[in-house]
Amino acid sequence: MKEITQPFRGISRYLLFISVLTICCTDSAAAQNSTPLQITVDPDQTGPVINKHIFGQFAEHLGKGIYEGVWVGPDSEIPNTRGLRDDVIEALKKLKVPNVRWPGGCFADEYHWRDGIGAPEERQKRLNASWAGRVEPNTFGTHEYFDFLNLIGAEAFISANVGSGTVQEAADWLEYLTATGSTLAEERAKNGHPEPYEVGFWGIGNEVWGCGGPFTAEEYLKELKQFSNFSTNYNPEMPTKHVAVGPDGDGFGEYTEVIMKEWAQKSWAWNIQGLSLHRYTRNGWPPNIIATDFNEAQYAAVIHETLGMDGYISRNKVIMDKYDPEVQVGIYVDEWGTWYKATEGSPEGYLEQQNSIRDAIVAALNFNIFIRHADRVKGANIAQMINVLQAMILTKQEKMILTPTYHAFRMYVPFQNATRLDIEFDAGSYESGEVTLPGIDAVAAQDDKGRIIIALTNVNPKEPTTIELSLAGISIKNVVGETLYASTIDAINTFEDPENVSPNPLSPDISEGKITVKLKPQSVTILTVEKE
């Protein structure tokens, strides 16, 4: 028996050792998971001002983006102001929308501005060749656009027609908008607006390497110089920034080099203040990711592609820094956002898709990237504002709902024109299959009242994350918070359940000069800190 029991006694000891080791490792892993991630913000280390225009919107004559989304007509039973939806106007006011890019997109390079002025019943009807051949009644034109901007408090970002238009047509449009005393100014007055309009941004074409041309970079450069030279703003109340077409996220990178090299040795006759970059999150072309009922792998794939925005901007910054070290030309990412497979049963070419908590995460991560590049990124426009792609608002006749992306925009309002602060943090990690992503992301800023704003995004859909936040040398008076969270990665708002994904107040703990907050999975959180 002794010879038999000894081996079993050895096995028992081995099993006991393995059990103890397992318990220790489990405890260690649990301790690691429960150990707060450290974030430090130094209010004395300030960066550039975060230009409010990185929170811009985009409204194209596409699907139900304009007609039903913005414009219902003055005779509609849907409450409206001069034909513009009251519910949409009130919702957009809360976003403090800095600018709205219009009329496109691809539509801009088939749009002739004279079709959209004068008596509505006398306006030209056209077929929208860019988007499904829908009849374009032009009842929403120049004056309706500026009326809309006035109601929501936004600036104008107009994309001029380079593809099918002429230099003279663009020059006449800007004169019509901004001049006094000329025949075109008198025509504007007869159409109901004696005072000149203010045009903040003048986009010289759109995607001229594709639907807006197509031109090589060198061919477009010739057009750019002519359009810039003859596009004159006559309203001294607001200078107009000229924004040139730059590359797409999937190619045409030579545009930045060609345009910036020529700009660096330009003559007095032309100038630009901005270069447009486009980049969508769409996982290939045609888009192959679904907007609803997706799995964790599809969630992670979208987040992974979104984070590529940082490298895309960085690569273009290197070129621009070479030719423009004083940063006179800003980057305008005037089309960005998620582009999924269209909603089943929606009209062809309307680009209708749902909007989940995943899209709010995408929006927050893009905001953070723009903020980190605030020295060069001076504007951005999400595609698009209503009923199209990554929309803020969805409408269904008289009904309206706010999307998770809308809530992300509203929560980030305090970052508009705030001063970026240095922030250091341990991002941790989140893994899904072969994809490894940062567990969290964070940015910080100080507003004009001295309050410190911190944005915290928990990318991880599996685990909550505890954050311990330190403010170097700051005595904390009060902290208020707000978090956008949903219990599943594909949670959406519907017309039947419009509040399913919506922000809730958060009360962080303050102890020994540090702020502790537990971030729920797949969540966006904003903290506002008042100093003593």
Helix, strand, coil percentages for the chain (3-state, nearest 5) = 30, 30, 40
- Please answer whether residues 141 and 117 qualify as being in contact, where contact means their C-beta atoms are separated by less than 8 angstroms: yes
Q: Is the dihedral of CA 169, 379, 490, 91 positive or negative?
A: negative
Of 200, 211, 210, the closest CA to residue 273 belongs to: 200
Phi, psi of 52 (to 5 degrees): -60, -25
Cα 232 to the center of its chain, rounded Å: 29
| Distance separating alpha carbons of residues 135 and 129, to the nearest angstrom | 9
Choose, from 60, 68, 144, 207, the residue flagged as catalytic: 207
**Residue 278 to residues 216, 302, 332, Cα–Cα distance (Å):** 17, 17, 9
530 is a catalytic site residue: no
Six token digits for residue 158? 């107009």
DSSP H helices, 373-480, are 404-411
155 is a catalytic site residue: no
Choose, from 60, 110, 144, 335, the residue flagged as catalytic: 335
- SS3 for 66? coil
- Please answer whether residues 360 and 404 qualify as being in contact, where contact means their C-beta atoms are separated by less than 8 angstroms: yes
Encode burial over 339-369: b for 16+ CB neighbours within 10 A, e otherwise: bbebeeeeeeebbbbbbbbbbbbbbbbbbbb
| Distance separating alpha carbons of residues 392 and 382, to the nearest angstrom | 9
The alpha carbon torsion through 452, 457, 463, 469 (nearest 10 deg) reads: -20
- Please answer whether residues 44 and 423 qualify as being in contact, where contact means their C-beta atoms are separated by less than 8 angstroms: no
| Distance separating alpha carbons of residues 174 and 202, to the nearest angstrom | 9
Cα 328 to the center of its chain, rounded Å: 23
Active site residues: 207, 335
